[in-house]
Structure 1
Amino acid sequence: MTISFRRKAAAVTFAVLGLTLAGGGIAIAQPAAKAPEAVQPAARANGSQPPVSAESARVSRALTAKATTLAAATTLTVVNANGTKARGTGTVIKYGVGQYEVQFGYVVTGGVYVATIGRPDSCCVPPSGEVAVAPRLQTSNGVFVQTRNSAGVAADLPFHLVVHLS
């Protein structure tokens, strides 16, 4: 009995030691991961934001004049593919194919932005595609949204946007 217990204990010890060394060996064998550089979206070649238009700056100034910093809020906005607001809050500005800016009457730079491709009506399944959101450069009350089709090509697609301030 004691012999089989000793053998099992030794086997378990060697197994744990082997797994520990194997895991450590993998971690050591991998090159040190380089942290991604903090780059503004405008500096990226593929995902750059268009420059702030005169209309965007005018709307931003008008909304910022009345803007407040909210302690906690959740804002929902539904936008049609053509850049018009279907429902919700905010002002929508369409820049180009698949490029939208949604501005609010309060500062949203510290918020969380979530968007999904979605139809503005209650019918049918939305078209397939991708959506990306980012804080709007040089606009503290704006969110930039970019939509693409399933092939990754910029496309006008309807979307739902949620902005949460905590």
Structure 2
Amino acid sequence: MTHVPAYVYILFLLLLWMGISRCLPRTIRVERLAIMPLLMAILGARGFDGLFSQPSLLDVLFAALGLGIGMAVGWRHVSGWKIAVDKTKGSLSLPGDIMMLVIILATFAFEFLLHAAAATHAAWFSAPFVPPLAAAIWAGFIGMSLGRNLHLLSRYMTIPEQPADQVG
């Protein structure tokens, strides 16, 4: 593992810290809902671009499908959460949840696997189904984060303000 750049370990530790912090109940500013989907989209696009020369129409189609499925999963996952809204502070009180940690670890493992396969010239990596499947999986992970945060944003916008100490 000496060929792995130091920034990869630093990025892994940062993402791990972010995922673990999501496991605990917390209060966040509503603007922070954009951070993880945006970060995951940037890392996913850079990872895909670094491994595959140019996305084909099939890659884009699979990415759109993965994004839609991921968004539905993320949306559904948070639909039962009890949250508190403080519109004067622009904040949401959220329960702890392991989903984001799982998404982060799975995304990191998936990208690491693809980069290792490319570096070792694994036979399966050159198969024609790998780029569209990779695009679908990456977009699915992005979609899960985006779907959950869009659902939380929609609830922030529509539910009346309720102090965190009154949430059942």
Q: Which has the higher strand share?
A: 1
Q: Determine which structure has greater relative contact order: mean sequence separation of CA pairs < 8 Å that are 6+ residues apart, divided by chain length.
A: 2
The answer to whether TM tops 0.5 is no
So what's the TM-score if we normalise by structure 1?
Answer: 0.23
